[in-house]
Amino acid sequence: MDGKNCIGFIHTIEKGDTLYKIGKKYGVRVSELLFANPYVDVYNLQVGDEICIPGYPDFS
């Protein structure tokens, strides 16, 4: 992924990651993840893939 096109930050997929888990971790809806990553096969995430997390991290 080209980080310049990401309005937010980049998350590198780790073993066991799903969109639901990633969304819960960062406080982002799955639909927002899908919209922010139109060219990523989000249904077949591989370790090392990079996806855009829209907005800013919420680590609360």
Residue 59 lies inside a defined structural domain of this protein = no
What does the pLDDT read at residue 42? 74
In a domain, 36, yes or no: yes
- Structural domain contains residue 60: no
The answer to whether residue 47 sits within a structural domain is yes
Q: Is residue 11 part of a domain?
A: yes
Burial of residue 34 (CB within 10 Å: 0-12, 13-18, 19+) is middle
Q: What is the CATH number of the domain that holds 32?
A: 3.10.350.10
Per-residue pLDDT reduced to its tens digit, 6-51 = 889 999 999 999 999 999 999 999 999 999 999 888 778 999 999 9
Residue 44 maps to a domain: yes
Residues spanned by the domain of 49:
3-54
| Number of structural domains found in the chain | 1
